[in-house]
Amino acid sequence: MAFSVLTIIYLLASVSFITGLKMLSNPSTARRGNLIAAAGMALAIFGTIFLYTDDTGTKLGNYSWIFAALFIGSVVGTMAARKVKMTAMPEMVSLFNGMGGACAALISIVEFNHLSHEIYQSAGITLNDIFPASASYSAWFSEMAIILAGLVIGAISFAGSMIAWAKLNGRINDFSFKGQHIFNIVLFVVVLGLAGWMAGVYQNANNMVFYLILVLSLLYGVFFVLPIGGADMPVVISLLNSFTGVAAACGGFLYNNKAMLTGGILVGAAGTLLTILMCKAMNRSLLNVLIGSFGASAAGTAKSQVQGNFKEINLSDAAILLSYANRVMIVPGYGLAVAQAQHSCHELEKLLASRGVDVKYAIHPVAGRMPGHMNVLLAEADVAYEQLHEMEEANEEFPTTDVVLVLGANDVVNPAAKSDPGSPIYGMPILEVELAKTCIVNKRSMKPGYAGIENELFFRPRTSMLFGDAKKVLQDLTAEIKNL
């Protein structure tokens, strides 16, 4: 009876995951969808704790350890989520994603020890032998293949996510050496070869080889992410997220757990689709992202570094232009996030709207440091979802826009992506802000963005630079407009 009830619980949990994921596609239902999926996960966890029994009818036990871990994890996770700044959200996503990969790898380690001891101890074989004799076990390949897949993918996801976290956090810089891509390929082939040898050729439960695969997988995860530049981080985060989902699905296969399997498949599929969309948004293949090191060493690869003279605009003139415009388009970038200026931006937007100005936001798919970063920031400030326009729609409206206000965006508005074949961002779809009647760009300085190249937009005749911290500039603009 307990098994039947648990099966129903897993089914309900799976449905809640699917429903929650669907609701995440719309900001108006995203919060509720997140809660529904979380409730389904809680149901699956407590159902497993209290209702699961093995083939002998034995329940889990160790409740004190289980609930102590749940309590500690819940407290730490809640405190971290409450205290994290929106600018640090990409780092937290990478950190949590890495923890998921680590869990999947730990599951594989536990199940390997369980499987190998069960089979080999009964055969009287010593596990520490370098080449132990094979033991007869009909399901060896299927179980071992899943265990090794979870180990390799989970370890790569964990190590890669930790490097991504450290790079986004500014703790380490991009690093590469000559022949690194060849080194990575050879390392990955060695990992696959050892895993195939263990799973299929000799049916070998050697401890030394298993943990060697773990170490090499962790090493590959590190060198896999190290050379990738900051501009490609949204793609890398999506890809690592899909890795974690696949690794979790392997755990679902091992335990025949429908909820775990469904959740892993959903995360893996969503991460893969998002990775494809991110690559499409940058007009680059995934292979090019992984081996191109875009953003790591792009400086100096464009045709020229100095484009000419730029003109600066003062607050009063900028306030007049915005206040008397018919249509204004705001382009948020990472500079907006760093300054925590989303609320000030919303205040300016509301003030302009009260004066009859049509204000909209143009969102580039890879703006920020993770997919949807700008959308999350603006949603936090209660910006209406209807005002957010995706790149294709925004580009159609720029020619009829009076003023474009660019807040900290750089590479995603650089015309070199269309005009300079020598630029490392050439071919990347951009927000065509240069087509507007007037473009005001707010930046702290003239320093280039993550691609490491000068922005042609800054030197265009319709562009004016408004230097300063985004939050203070927006607050001062709001004050100036109120005084008009």
Q: Return the DSSP state at 388.
A: E
Residue 427 has φ and ψ, to the nearest 5°, of 95, -15
Give the pLDDT band (50/70/90) at residue 135: very low
pLDDT at 28: 73
Asked if pLDDT for residue 373 goes beyond 60, the answer is: yes
d(CA 224, CA 460): 38
Q: By the 8 A CB rule, do 442 and 404 touch?
A: no
Least confident residue range of 92-101, 107-116, 138-147, 403-412 = 138-147
**pTM value > 0.85:** no
Spatial CB neighbours of 200, under 8 Å, sequence gap ≥ 6 = 141, 145
Cα angle value 472/477/479 (rounded, 5°):
95
Asked if pLDDT for residue 214 goes beyond 90, the answer is: yes
Mapped onto helix, strand or coil, the DSSP state of residue 466 is: strand
Give the pLDDT band (50/70/90) at residue 59: confident
* Mean pLDDT of the region 466-481: 92
> Which helix (H) or strand (E) is 461 found in, with range?
none
Output the 3-class SS for 156-219. Answer: HHHHHHHHHHHHHCCCCCCCCCCCHHHHHHHHHHHHHHHHHHHHHHCCCCCHHHHHHHHHHHHH
d(CA 88, CA 180): 29
- Tokens 């997919």, residue? 371
Beta bridge partners of 441: 406, 465
Name the more confident of 292 and 428.
428
- Tokens 């793609």, residue? 235
Q: By the 8 A CB rule, do 13 and 45 touch?
A: no
Name the more confident of 390 and 169.
390
Q: Can you read off the two tokens belonging to residue 94?
A: 């990478």
Q: By the 8 A CB rule, do 302 and 457 touch?
A: no
CA-based R_g, the chain, Å = 26
* Mean pLDDT of the region 106-135: 63
pLDDT at 303: 44
d(CA 162, CA 97): 9
Residue type, 182: I
Give the pLDDT band (50/70/90) at residue 299: very low
Q: By the 8 A CB rule, do 17 and 37 touch?
A: yes
d(CA 26, CA 105): 33
The torsion angle over the Cα atoms of residues 282, 283, 287 and 292, rounded to 10 degrees, is -60
d(CA 470, CA 484): 21
Spatial CB neighbours of 425, under 8 Å, sequence gap ≥ 6 = 294, 298, 411, 414, 416, 417, 451, 453
Q: Return the DSSP state at 436.
A: S
Q: By the 8 A CB rule, do 229 and 295 touch?
A: yes
d(CA 207, CA 264): 27
d(CA 262, CA 452): 41
Give the pLDDT band (50/70/90) at residue 127: very low
Active-site residue numbers? Answer: 411
